[in-house]
Amino acid sequence: MKNLVIFVIASAGIFAFSWHSLRDGRSHGFYRFFAFECILISILLNRNLWFRDPFSVAQIISWALLCASLGLAIHGFYLLIAVGRPKGYFENTTAVVMLGAYKYIRHPLYASLILLAWGSFFKDVSLQGVMLTAMAATFLFATARVEESENLHKFGEEYASYMTKTKMFIPFLF
């Protein structure tokens, strides 16, 4: 029952953050909403296991992924705001950010969400967890692809050139 209450409240917050995007299936926020929901479900399903057997290999991997997720998110948000010079909403940047993590990957914030999803998965390795994590990663990949299309439209050749020099999520791979 407690998980259901938390899910409804958190989903309401995610919905409030995403409501304008949900009306347009071609918006990156549309797919991001579903990624958030998958991650939320994964976290809630494993909520009681986060501190169980703290020195097991799975828990150590989980905490390493969760710490990396947090660090990348803080770094990414900072650069997006400081260098991207958003107008109003933090996503409405006026400049392409190409420093820090953005020098190597185009989507550090989505990469941080993928790390969060995998970190939650390793709290309790299960088939259900694999499915939720795979769904979250798929939605985040779709989010990034749509956002890249939006950025190409907004920034043109500058973003196209940036895309040739960076990877989507993982530096030096793919």
Segment 109-161, tens digit of pLDDT: 999 999 999 999 999 999 999 999 999 999 999 999 999 999 999 999 999 99
Percent of the chain with pLDDT over 70: 99
Per the structure block, which two tokens stand in for 54?
Answer: 């703290």
- Domain assignment present for 87: yes
- Domain assignment present for 11: yes
Q: How many Cβ atoms are within 10 Å of 150's Cβ, its own excluded?
A: 15
- Domain assignment present for 13: yes
Per the structure block, which two tokens stand in for 49?
Answer: 């296991």
- Domain assignment present for 34: yes
pLDDT reading at 174 higher than 70: no
- Domain assignment present for 173: no
Angstrom distance (rounded) from CA 45 to CA 105: 30
- Domain assignment present for 111: yes
Q: How many Cβ atoms are within 10 Å of 57's Cβ, its own excluded?
A: 9
Domain count, the chain: 1
- Domain assignment present for 120: yes
Give residue 98's region: left, alpha or beta (phi > 0; psi -120 to 50): alpha
The model's pLDDT over 13-33, given as tens digits with 9 standing for 90+, comes to 999 988 888 888 788 989 999
Per the structure block, which two tokens stand in for 121?
Answer: 């998965």
- Domain assignment present for 171: no
